[in-house]
Chain A
Amino acid sequence: MSAMTLTGGTIGTTPKRRFNPRHALVLAKRNIIKSMRTPEQFMDVTLQPIIFLTLFTYIFGGALAGGSQHAYLEFLLPGMLGQTIAMTSIAIGQNLHTDIDKGVFDRFRSLPIGRAVPLIGAVLAEFTRYVTVCVVTMAVGYLIGFRIETDPLKLLAGLALAICFAACFAWVSVFIGLTVRSAGAVQGVMFLFIFPLSFGSNVFVQTSTMPGWLQAFVKVNPMSHLVSAVRGLMLGGPVGSQVGWTFAWCAILLVVFFPLALRGYIRRA
């Protein structure tokens, strides 16, 4: 059995290799130190939410949501949060692709640590970027008039759900980063995933305005579930089933892409 679980002591034929969360935290710290030393790596999680949120609010706001820019901002912000946080994951695949060819990964492989630890460490480090996206999006939103209609606890729950989704979606990028042959190709392939996910969803407009065949896709799209859940948590309304679907999609992403990513990593050795 090659059960590829996070706690798995048996990956491949390696006996007694226990996964130690501390190792993953040590490697997450390495990634955080590295990205702090190249602050331009934070451009996509700081400038992008600012530009996209203001741009889309004022471009579409007048035409949609009955001409009320404020009403459109209320509708759009949870969607932009979902789209931006998913796009954030492009960087991890690109960074791993270049990082892994450097000698330090061979050093990691020669140490008695779990095989997946360097990958898990890299994903854990992404949490700093996810939190940045959340803070910047909410701050800009607040400045241009966004207000939550529930309570701060529900807001935090919504942000946590978006971060959880991003951390699972990151494994798609890790897999692609370890599979394609150039770092530049990571972005191209990731856009193939992210564009249908973010535009074929309820991020920008209500699902009910779309033709039936598109609605069928939009309704199963994980991004729609995430955005509906976050909307509910920020603006009120029932959220239980949408949160449930989001978690289900998180589990699917993890179960499919974590083993694929690990296999890609082992093959690159």
Chain B
Amino acid sequence: MTDLAIEATGLTKSFGKTKALAGVDLAARKGTVLGVLGPNGAGKTTAVRILATLLRADSGVAKVNGFDVRTHPNQVRQRIGLTGQFASVDDDLTGTENLVMIGQLLDLPKKAAKARAAELLEWFDLAEAAGKKAKNYSGGMRRRLDLAASLVGRPPVIFLDEPTTGLDPAKREDMWDVVRSLVSDGSTVLLTTQYLEEADALADEITVINHGKVIAHDTPHGLKRVVGGQRLTVHPIDPARYDDLLTVLSEIPATAGRTPEPNGRGSVTIQVDSDDVLPDVVARLRAAGIKVDELSLHLPSLDEVFFTLTGTRSGESHAAEEVPA
């Protein structure tokens, strides 16, 4: 059991009448990434706050590196780094001032704190902005500074709460590289996200939660086997060819006779079993003379994952559907 860096069993937490967590189990082996996937309001942040000793669970046990967060919070705090929507930096201080302050709070001598700050700013490509106030940073710089702040004490366990929400795709890839290098240094990472794509790219195991409950726990490979692999989305230029397009798609062997799903804006999505289906699709579209302006392969969205796992749409869109049109 000692190879678990993060271990939580039966966590519950209510805020008034709202049940944020209704019995959540989480486990991450040392040196791995655990992805916690779920929509807004699923309880991801509540779970992270409990593990990071910011919040006390109503019941259940949570341990970080073997230390109970309830009985040994200080030992836990010495071993964690926290970055996310909440744990952040001081807007009125510069990048350097923020990191030096945290170093000193972690009992580094001033000189060592300054050296560590400079090292991290360099590493996160923030050296030029080191003397600027954090409030003048761009979104991506700000996230990097947040992350740098949580790494000052070289923590073996790192919590990243939606580290890429709101970042553009290029910045997101940068953040993924950072996470990968943290793990290659031996750290354990718990990452929450709303994107299956992100969990797939980074996590060794994925726990899917919704309405405060775990609804799936698997490797990315296993999870994709359950929810299906790639989706093919096609949009015909000429809306009149829509029905022809459906026929062409249903004839492709990789779609295995599934029914294409229209997804609103005149485009259609179908699950495919093979990752190298595109040449076949292109050839068949050309033969049928159907011109398209969108053709993409992608992993299922969070909503599709939830639909497959639970038969209902995820929390948010479910609530939206209840509103009378």
Contact = CB atoms under 8 A, between A and B. Distances in A.
B partners with A: yes
Interface of A: 13-17, 20, 22-23, 26-27, 29-30, 33-34, 37-38, 102-104, 106-113, 269
6 contacts: A14-B74, A23-B104, A26-B105, A106-B82, A106-B88, A112-B106
Nearest to A18: B74
Contacts of B90: 30, 34, 102, 104
B52 A26 contact: no
A15 B92 contact: no
A106 B74 contact: no
B228 to A, nearest CB: 37
B55 A103 contact: no
The 5 closest A-B pairs by CB, nearest first: A103-B88, A112-B77, A106-B87, A110-B82, A26-B104
B149 interface: yes
Interface in B79-131: 80, 82, 85-93, 97, 101-102, 104-107
A112 B54 contact: no
Contact of B93 (A13, A14, A23, A34): A34
Given A14-B73, A33-B97, A269-B54, 14 more contacts: A15-B72, A17-B74, A22-B104, A26-B104, A30-B101, A102-B91, A103-B86, A104-B90, A107-B89, A109-B54, A110-B52, A110-B80, A110-B87, A112-B74
Contacts of A103: 85-89
Nearest to B90: A104
Interface in B106-160: 106-107, 133, 149-150
Contacts of A20: 107
Contacts of A109: 53-54
Contacts of A34: 90, 92-93
B105 A111 contact: yes
B78 interface: yes
A118 to B, nearest CB: 10
A30 B87 contact: no
Contact of A106 (B80, B86, B93, B101): B86
A33 B92 contact: yes
A13 B105 contact: no
A112 B78 contact: yes
A107 B102 contact: yes
A152 B133 CA distance: 42
A23 B87 contact: no
Contacts of A22: 104, 107
B2 interface: no
B71 interface: yes
B89 A111 contact: no
B54 A104 contact: no
B54 A113 contact: no
B74 A102 contact: no
B53 A110 contact: yes
Contacts of B74: 14-17, 112
Nearest to A9: B74
A112 B67 CA distance: 14
Nearest to B85: A103
A89 to B, nearest CB: 21
A106 B70 CA distance: 17
A20 B74 CA distance: 14
B88 A107 contact: yes
B71 A110 contact: no
Contacts of B55: 269
Given A23-B105, A26-B101, A33-B97, A111 B91 contact: no
A16 to B, nearest CB: 6
A95 to B, nearest CB: 11
Nearest to A107: B87
Interface string B51-74: 011110000000000000011111
Contacts of A29: 101
| Most-contacted residue by chain B among A15, A33, A106 (CB, 10 A) | A106
Contacts of A15: 71-72, 74
A15 B106 CA distance: 18
Contacts of A107: 82, 87-89, 102, 149-150
Given A103-B89, A104-B89, A111 B97 contact: no
A104 to B, nearest CB: 5
Contacts of A110: 52-54, 77, 80, 82, 87
A45 to B, nearest CB: 19
A106 B54 contact: yes
Nearest to B134: A104
Contacts of B82: 106-107, 110
A108 B86 CA distance: 11
Nearest to B82: A110
A269 B54 CA distance: 7
B93 A111 contact: no
Contacts of B97: 30, 33
Contacts of B88: 102-104, 106-107
